[in-house]
């Protein structure tokens, strides 16, 4: 449960897993931000493929990371939303803040 | 109307209990044989209600969160999440999407999610006394299998 970070060619990928709620979001946020602030990546990818549950705390998490990345004109992409997570994300209308990639994206591919 | 089955639980408003609360309600309503989607809706709505108690009602203090869950005829579930926290000054404003009084990263979508993931949402509150959120959802009966 939590987050695994992969840095490659100025793209920081955060592979999220488990359940994202107000409790777990705090730890995930700290992990991502401490690395992102150091490397200032051009793009931050949030990969939700292994997320089993997410409530609106996850929306706050996404919005917060978008704000952080704006500090150096970086972009945020959201990948691999499971259907139940997608429902919450569409409710929030995040399209103006970040790019939501539909369909499966293999993070290990070049 | 008399409930066919019911349960109650109470726990301190520590954020570690958010996962426990939604898992407990989910385990209780599993007897109605809900679909994965229906179960996820209930878990999400309960998680939002409990998070509100922790983040808003009790803020930096620890109080008790009370949950009751009742099952009625035809698969109707009524979950009540109650606190004895600060109360909501303006319920209508609090229920507006994107409105939040909390500091930090709150999206202000708690009530919007509860509303969208249940059939009915009722909120009542008294300043300084606490807030009570009632979530209702009916689990659709699927064709009976194995001669149930």
Q: Which residues of A touch B25 (CB under 8 A)?
A: none
Q: Which domain holds residue B58?
A: 5-138
What confidence tens digit (pLDDT) does each residue in A48-61 have? 999 999 999 999 99
Looking at the complex, does the CB of residue B109 fall below 8 Å from at least one CB of chain A? yes
Q: Which whole-number Å values give the CA distances from B89 to A98, B27, B86, in the listed order?
A: 34, 34, 9
Q: In 10 A of CB A87, how many CB atoms?
A: 18
- What are the structural domain ranges in chain A? 2-100
B116-138: average pLDDT: 97
* Residue of B36, B101, B107 for testing the chain A interface, max A β-carbons within 10 Å: B107
Distance, in Å, from the CA atom of B145 to the CA atom of A45, rounded to the nearest integer, reads 44
ipTM attached to this prediction: 0.91
Q: Taking 90 as the threshold, does the pLDDT of residue B104 lie above it?
A: no
pLDDT of the residue at A108: 57
pLDDT band at B148 (very low <50, low <70, confident <90, very high): very low
Is there a contact between B51 and A57 if contact means CB atoms under 8 Å apart?
A: yes
* Residue of A28, A46, A55, A96 for testing the chain B interface, max B β-carbons within 10 Å: A55
Is residue B111 assigned to a domain?
yes
pLDDT of the residue at A107: 63
Which overall architecture, per CATH, does domain A2-100 show?
A: 2-Layer Sandwich (3.30)
Q: In 10 A of CB B109, how many CB atoms?
A: 23
What confidence tens digit (pLDDT) does each residue in B16-28 have? 999 999 999 999 9
Is residue B50 assigned to a domain?
yes
pLDDT of the residue at B144: 63
Give how many domains chain B has, as a whole number: 1
Looking at the complex, does the CB of residue A63 fall below 8 Å from at least one CB of chain B? yes
Is residue B56 assigned to a domain?
yes
Question: Global pTM?
Answer: 0.93
**What CATH number does the domain containing B44 carry?**
3.30.565.10
Regions of chain A where pLDDT drops below 70: 1, 107-110
pLDDT of the residue at A110: 45
What confidence tens digit (pLDDT) does each residue in B27-84 have? 999 999 999 999 999 999 999 999 999 999 999 899 999 999 999 999 999 999 999 9
Is residue B105 assigned to a domain?
yes
Is residue B143 assigned to a domain?
no
């Amino acid at each position: 449960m939590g987050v695994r970070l992969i840095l490659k060619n100025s793209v920081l990928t955060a592979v999220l897993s488990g359940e994202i709620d107000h409790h777990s979001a705090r730890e995930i946020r700290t992990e991502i931000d401490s690395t992102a602030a150091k490397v200032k990546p051009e793009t931050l990818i949030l990969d939700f493929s292994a997320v089993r549950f997410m409530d609106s705390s996850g929306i706050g998490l996404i919005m917060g990371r978008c704000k952080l990345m704006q500090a150096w004109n970086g972009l945020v992409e959201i990948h691999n939303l499971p259907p139940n997570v997608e429902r919450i994300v569409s409710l929030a209308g995040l399209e103006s803040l970040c790019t939501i990639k539909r369909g499966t994206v293999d993070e290990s591919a070049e | 109307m008399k409930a066919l089955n019911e349960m109650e639980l109470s726990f301190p408003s520590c954020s570690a209990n958010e996962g426990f609360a939604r898992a407990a309600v989910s385990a209780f309503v599993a007897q109605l044989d809900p679909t994965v989607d229906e179960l996820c809706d209930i878990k999400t709505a309960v998680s939002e209600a409990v998070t509100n108690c922790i983040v808003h009602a009790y803020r930096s203090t620890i109080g008790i969160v009370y949950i009751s869950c009742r099952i009625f005829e035809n698969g109707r579930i009524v979950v009540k999440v109650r606190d004895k926290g600060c109360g909501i000054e303006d319920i209508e404003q609090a229920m507006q999407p994107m409105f939040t009084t909390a500091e930090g990263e709150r999206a202000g979508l708690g009530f919007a999610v509860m509303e969208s993931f249940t059939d009915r949402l009722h909120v009542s509150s008294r300043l300084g006394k606490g807030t009570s959120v009632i979530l209702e959802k009916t689990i659709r009966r699927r064709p009976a299998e194995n001669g149930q």
